[in-house]
Amino acid sequence: MTLTQLRYIVAIADAGLNITLAADNVHATQSGISKQLKQLEGELGFQVFTRRGKSLDAITPAGVQVLERARSILHEARNIRALAANLREEAQGELSVATTHTQARFVLPEAIARLKQHYPDLGVHIRPQGEGRIISLFESGEVDLAIVSTSGQPPEGGIAVPLFRWYRRAVVPHGHPLAKLGRPLRIEDLAEYPLVSYESSLQAESSLRRAFAALELTPRIACTSADADLIKTYVLAGLGVGILAEMAITPGDARELVTLTIDNLLPICTSWMVLRRDHVLRSYVAQLARLVAPQIDEAELRRVVAGHAEPHWPSPPYWSELTSRQVRRVTPRAA
């Protein structure tokens, strides 16, 4: 019995018993996987999968038990490799991150650039996704970590580490009536105009819809996108009032857009890094967490992820506090 054989049967199960897809996922040949499966079942003395003709049909009861233990063995093998890499202070590796377009575009670039200075041979793969897809990619093992935001409870599926808190902003073109109100915006003001926002605003349980429903109002969603830059583009095209994360507002936007504060209208959001439980944390993952959220204690993070401690995270800072620290760090002192 080998780790390769165990990896293949897990890949088959995860691919819905499709050997061709499993082979693609583990970069093997279909014939190679079939041969290893036959050898493993011969050693075990029973079938892991039942057959229908030349196709796999179902997982046998004994196979369910084998797969459960195979996953545990492969998990610990990965932990041993990670531990060895950390002890060798190895700077190589591959890091895959699932996150939203907003985080990928406006939050991560500086952190990733600084991470690459310490780990120049590290391959970083950013996979921007809609919010509904991020955690599923993480749970399936297709990415190493997820960065996602909520306006309520922490995301499920792993250890959720709070990074920072942020507000939403409304954006309108120069000359728009809302830009001339001369007073704080109210939900009733937003209800008078079509809105351009994130795809999540279409969900019945979205915090945007809940805020409107509390006043017995319904938002008029004219256009949605997962990409904050596209939201701003369609606001400029005249489709409606934009509602987007404050991180997505850049100084250059002021040339064409007016940014309006709506802190008291919609719930504050928290961005989280979601990590796998009972894992040996690679050094570059711990450093990325610190680069995005400096309040995180790396030693505590390692203990929690390894399952040796319960999480007691410090209160996450506001995004505005993080950016003000960055400005102070890069602003040269007067001579």
**93-156+273-330 with 168-261: one CATH topology?**
yes
Distance spanning both ends of the chain, measured CA to CA: 69
Position 90 scores a pLDDT of 64
Which segments of 97-177 does DSSP mark as H helices, in order?
A: 101-102, 108-118, 131-139
- Ranges of the chain whose pLDDT falls below 70: 79, 82-83, 85-92, 280, 325-335
What pLDDT, in 10s, does the model give residues 91-145?
A: 667 899 999 999 999 999 999 999 999 888 889 999 999 887 898 888 877 888 9
Domains of the chain, by residue range, sit at 3-87, 93-156+273-330, 168-261
CATH number of 93-156+273-330: 3.40.190.10
3-state secondary structure of 5: helix
Residues 6+ apart with CB under 8 A from 28: 8
Cβ neighbours of 72 (radius 10 Å): 12
Cα dihedral 109→235→100→323 (10° resolution): 40
Residues forming a β-bridge with 50? 58
CATH number of 3-87: 1.10.10.10
The predicted model scores a pTM of: 0.76
Q: Closest Cα partner for 272 from 156, 154, 129, 151?
A: 154
Q: Closest Cα partner for 99 from 153, 136, 146?
A: 146
What pLDDT, in 10s, does the model give residues 197-236?
A: 999 898 888 999 999 999 999 999 999 999 999 999 999 9
CATH superfamily of 168-261: Periplasmic binding protein-like II (3.40.190.10)
| CB-side neighbour CA atoms (13 Å) of 187 | 17
Position 332 scores a pLDDT of 41
Position 224 scores a pLDDT of 95
Is the CA virtual torsion 31, 33, 37, 39 positive or negative?
A: positive
Distance set, CA 117 to CA 122, 152, 284, 288 (Å): 10, 35, 11, 12
Q: Could you give the CA distance from residue 172 to residue 257 in angstroms, rounded to a whole number?
A: 6
| Interaxial angle between packed helices 61-87 and 3-14, expressed in degrees from 0 to 180 and rounded to the nearest 10 | 120
